[in-house]
Structure 1
Amino acid sequence: MPSVHHPLDALTPQEYWTIYQTLRSEGHVHEKTLFASVLLHEPDKQAVLQWTPDSPIDRKADVVLLDEGKSYAAIVDITSKKVDDFHALKGEHAPYTDTEEHEVGEAIKHDPRIIEALKKRGITDLRHVECYPEPAGYIALPEQKDPEDRIAWGGCADSEGAISGSWDREVSGLFFVADMKTKKVLRVSDFGSVPRTPTTGIYDEVGGEALPGTKPITVMQTEGPSFTIDKGLVSWQNWRFRFRLDPRQGPVLSTVGIEDNGKLRSVMYEGALSEMYVPYQDPEETWNSHVFIDGGEYFMNTGLGLIKPLIAGVDCPDYATFFSGFFYKEDGSPFERPQLACLFERTKGDPAWRHSDPNGVFGRPTRELVLRTVATVGNYDYVLDWRFGQDGVITGAVGATGILEVKPVSDTDVSKGMSDGLADKNAPGGPVEFGHLVAPGTDAVNHDHFFSFRLDLDVDGPKNSFMADKLVQYKIPSNKTDYGRHVIWAMKPTMPMTESEAKMDISLQHPSMWRFVSSDTKGPQGYPTSYEIMAGQTGTSLLPSDEWPQKRAGFSEHQLWVTPYEPTERFAAGTYVSGSRGTDGVAIWTKKNRSIMDTDIVAWYTVGFHHTPRTEDWPQMPIMWHEFQIRPFDFFTKNPALDLPMKP
């Protein structure tokens, strides 16, 4: 039975029951009450940093309930078994739940207008029809005048004849707006139907034959892993860290430090995925409404938690160590879900460093430690990695795979209607304009993916400042240009003093390095010790800031934000995302323009990419990785991987 060994440990089954029983005993749980969110209420950071293993651990939980369409928030003191706070949410809503979506979906499916629209398309057997009400992000529809209304929109799919799933079985041209409280359809729009093509096999469940000449590759750790876990503390090489599995955020790293010459030095207090944003780019109302803020809206109504079980030998090596998670059901009861995370070492055959000189070739091989989970949100699967290197680098990585969202179209071959090499979009059978034909009659709609990572870096302690080292042109004085060089580049350190000054965007023309520097500790050369957030390939939103979807997910406008530490600021698009009007989140907080000098500061890094689908992405998308690094900069006295052994 799991126990609590640290203030930031995940909630246990016993604690979930205490939360349920405490709320029930104080009259807040009724027969139809749904537990929409139950998360650890993190204790005061300073108290955590001062905590010792012999100290008591006080535990609390943040709870959101949905009762007959009304949303309530509570703070439950687990230790004392009492409710510290309970109030109705005004203009804010609980996350959507499976129960709610299923009940409303069934009611929608039997609405006379929906039945008539399906009948026009030759669909009279409703057994395999699913109408899916999705959280309606605020876009100022007539039905959204009252912020207290819980509005959803969506369409229907008919999976009859499908091979695996209904992702290519959309009923085209059908759109509805529904009231989730009354379970009634408010409006139905019918834009006309398109004949559906035969279903596509989404994936091969059995697996194919190996290509000729394929030989086995076997990787084993016959003596077991070289990391240890003692009461939740992971020790590997010089790294020390903890993690919990959170229903909303997935893996949450905490108290990450590295041992250096016998001293444990802090690097990051906490690191986690804070939010996801996926806006589709099609003007048709049935698709223009596809704007998902997955972390806050969907972590419960896609299968009781964001992260899902892993497959040994596919998601993780067979020799990996797997971890179960304890989450909650909508009735408030706990349940165990196995293999939600894995931890494993690997060597990729890459050098940690190498050099060749007249005396020979010198170098060292390397290995890394990987903490992996997979978040499944509807059609997409996101592989989430935290990778620890022997060189003091932490790599965050997102691998996108899964199934594209597609719509049926009349186009079957884009070569028809071509003239002088230009496609005529108005010609019969011409190409689709806002997506890509991935199969006959199957259009994969263009869309974006944005992931906001909350990185509470504590470089040699909580007191840090943010440094942006800009690379600028330097004109060589005329008396030093004897060799024809007139311009070089140089590093110009700048230290933004406030949140507004610290909004950073990647620019190839104006590059800069983003560092979190210690206010109190200096390295041997006199530089302040620091860790750099080294951006990988990423993107920014192309939507204007006054567009409603963009208002709700404003974090996607910049690749980096820096804020002073504030315990209530945990989610980049705000705590209550369902129905939000963009009044919470990092883009709103930073308008305060608070000081970020010599204080406890937090980085919000955005991983983003624009997805224009291709034929090879269908029917199952090959995994596509996007990474960033948190790497030491003047933190150590030398290359920490210099003395690695000759064998990895």
Structure 2
Amino acid sequence: MRVNRISHARGRTAALGLAVAALAAGLTTGAGPATAQPQSAAAAAPDCSAAFRIEQKLASGTTWRMCWRYDSMAGLVLDDITYQPKGEPAPIKVLNSARLGQIHVPYDDGRAEYDDLTGQDFAKDLMNLAPAECPGGTIKTVKIPDPYPDQNPNVKGLCTTTRSRGHAYRMQGDTANKVYQAQGKDFLVYTVNQVGWYEYMTEFRFQDDGTINMNVGATGTLSPFDYDAGDGKGWPIGKGAAKDKATSHTHNVFWRLDFALDGSTKNRVEQYDSTLTPRGADTPTVKTTRTKVTKELAGDAKTYRWWRMVSATGKNKDNHARSYEFVPGPTTRYPGRSYTKHDIYFTQYDKCELFSSNNPRCDRDHPKSVDKWVNGQTLTHPVAWVNVGFHHIARDEDQQPMPVHWQGFSIVPRDVTAMNPLTPADLAGQNGNYTGGS
């Protein structure tokens, strides 16, 4: 029999009737976060047989290739991700793996805090997807590695599909009647996992211009057992001003990215900072400086700062080093824990360091959170950890069901190709200062 926690939005929806009956009888169900996780075996090597291989060619000519697997805690993991735009003779390796690194959920009243990947049954509770949830795509069957005793381990839970995103570009030509424009296409790979009353959509979105968007969308319902607002600051939900106040909380989502640009893990991390200097009546000047990040780093985002991961071996046709730039989405940095106080971490690869907090896959003496792994090691095989927070203060519109709220970031190609990979044939020769004759 499964143990269901009904406090703080963590009861399973399927057990609502039983939970209500138990409450009426004066009983309690559920348990808090485990204080000691069992040691888990290291993740298996990616299986890239036909059943686990994904390949999608988009209308623009761009092809994305990857392998997929399903981890017993992290859920969906994508391995060996390559990008091949038209005009490139071979696939360009981007990532060894991309996966969630944790979903950390502290409540504002200080009474509860959860690590949904390693402290809850995130991976076990993969949801079956209906065809309407994967329009025009394919739903693959996922075998749950460690199912519940009463659970069918085979879940139709992985969607791959394509979707339009609007303009990829638009440019007025030299003549008034010539307009260059294209509508962009994305390739989506996603799953839905239930944790308590929440349902998390783990989405990887691969654009035809080489951008990869990584998002988590939270939906489902507000917990019917969580209207006490013990912090005294919850938002009124339902009729009246004081009866029901949903407790506010934060979703701190981490992603773990193991890069292998051009097939090599010997990538370089660079940080760019720009400084603005006023010049009296003249236009202010901006100077940008580059810092090579050679040691492990806990990075803080700020205005005019960004990072990129640079290939150590590959260059584009203009002889510029290929790289991917980190582009963060909106975030609320949670200051309550040491590992959520920074926006990005670069750590030296360690096969057991897989979850940013409550990490169970290292030995007993190994630090359990990503901030403790930043200890001065030289980066020869950098792994990136991206932290995006969302402070959820409930509102009337969150019931019922709760609209999806998204949080995430992108990695964007910087000099991966010599020109826009979607450039139309008429403009293919306009590389660099073409008006000067080059």
- Between the aligned partners of 1:124 and 1:326, the Cα distance in structure 2 is 34
Q: Report whether the alignment pairs 1:468 with 2:288.
A: no
Deviation (angstroms), 1:336: 3.2
Letter in 1 for 2:115: I
- Residues 469-484 of structure 1: pairs in structure 2 closer than 5 A: 469-474=272-277, 484=281
Q: TM-score, normalised by structure 2?
A: 0.79
- Between the aligned partners of 1:494 and 1:273, the Cα distance in structure 2 is 28
- Between the aligned partners of 1:263 and 1:407, the Cα distance in structure 2 is 53
The aligned residue for residue 48 of structure 1 is none
Q: Report whether the alignment pairs 1:370 with 2:188.
A: yes
Deviation (angstroms), 1:230: 3.8
- Between the aligned partners of 1:490 and 1:340, the Cα distance in structure 2 is 49
- Residues 80-91 of structure 1: pairs in structure 2 closer than 5 A: none
- Residues 61-140 of structure 1: pairs in structure 2 closer than 5 A: 99=2, 101=3, 126=25, 129-135=27-33
| Corresponding residue to 2:372 among 571, 588, 609 | 588
8 Å Cα contact 1:432/1:443 also seen in 2: no
Q: Report whether the alignment pairs 1:556 with 2:340.
A: yes
What SS class does the counterpart of residue 434 from structure 1 fall into?
A: coil
| Corresponding residue to 1:354 among 170, 179, 198 | 170
| Corresponding residue to 1:435 among 206, 228, 234 | 234
Distance 1:259 1:407, change over 3 A: closer
Cα deviation, 1:411-435, whole Å, max 9, x if unaligned, reads 9xxxxxxxxxxxxxxxxxxx98321
Cα deviation, 1:443-464, whole Å, max 9, x if unaligned, reads 1111100111000111222111
Unaligned runs of 5+ in 2: 8-21, 38-48, 58-62, 427-438
- Between the aligned partners of 1:136 and 1:437, the Cα distance in structure 2 is 31
Distance 1:618 1:124, change over 3 A: closer
Deviation (angstroms), 1:595: 1.0
- Residues 523-538 of structure 1: pairs in structure 2 closer than 5 A: 523-538=316-331
Give the aligned length: 386
| Corresponding residue to 1:387 among 205, 221, 224 | 205
Distance 1:471 1:340, change over 3 A: same
Distance 1:443 1:364, change over 3 A: same
The aligned residue for residue 296 of structure 1 is 118
Distance 1:582 1:375, change over 3 A: farther
Cα deviation, 1:496-548, whole Å, max 9, x if unaligned, reads 2211xx3222223xx212100012333344432101111111121132xxxxx
| Corresponding residue to 2:301 among 500, 506, 510 | 506
8 Å Cα contact 1:562/1:603 also seen in 2: yes
The aligned residue for residue 64 of structure 2 is 239
8 Å Cα contact 1:470/1:491 also seen in 2: yes
Q: Report whether the alignment pairs 1:522 with 2:315.
A: yes
Distance 1:496 1:266, change over 3 A: same
Distance 1:244 1:584, change over 3 A: same
Q: Report whether the alignment pairs 1:457 with 2:272.
A: no
- Between the aligned partners of 1:621 and 1:467, the Cα distance in structure 2 is 40
The aligned residue for residue 609 of structure 1 is 390
- Between the aligned partners of 1:571 and 1:432, the Cα distance in structure 2 is 29
Distance 1:485 1:526, change over 3 A: farther
Distance 1:620 1:594, change over 3 A: same
The aligned residue for residue 352 of structure 2 is 568
- Between the aligned partners of 1:402 and 1:361, the Cα distance in structure 2 is 44
8 Å Cα contact 1:247/1:306 also seen in 2: no
Cα deviation, 1:456-475, whole Å, max 9, x if unaligned, reads 11122211110111122256
The aligned residue for residue 411 of structure 2 is 630
- Residues 71-470 of structure 1: pairs in structure 2 closer than 5 A: 99=2, 101=3, 126=25, 129-135=27-33, 230-237=50-57, 238-259=63-84, 261-282=88-109, 288-299=110-121, 305-313=124-132, 315-317=133-135, 319-328=136-145, 335-348=152-165, 350-357=166-173, 358-405=176-223, 407-408=226-227, 433-440=232-239, 441-460=243-262, 461-470=264-273
Distance 1:408 1:603, change over 3 A: closer
- Between the aligned partners of 2:295 and 2:24, the Cα distance in structure 1 is 61
Distance 1:364 1:329, change over 3 A: closer
Percent of pairs identical after alignment?
24
Larger Cα Rg: Structure 1 or Structure 2?
1
Deviation (angstroms), 1:289: 2.6
- Between the aligned partners of 1:607 and 1:296, the Cα distance in structure 2 is 18
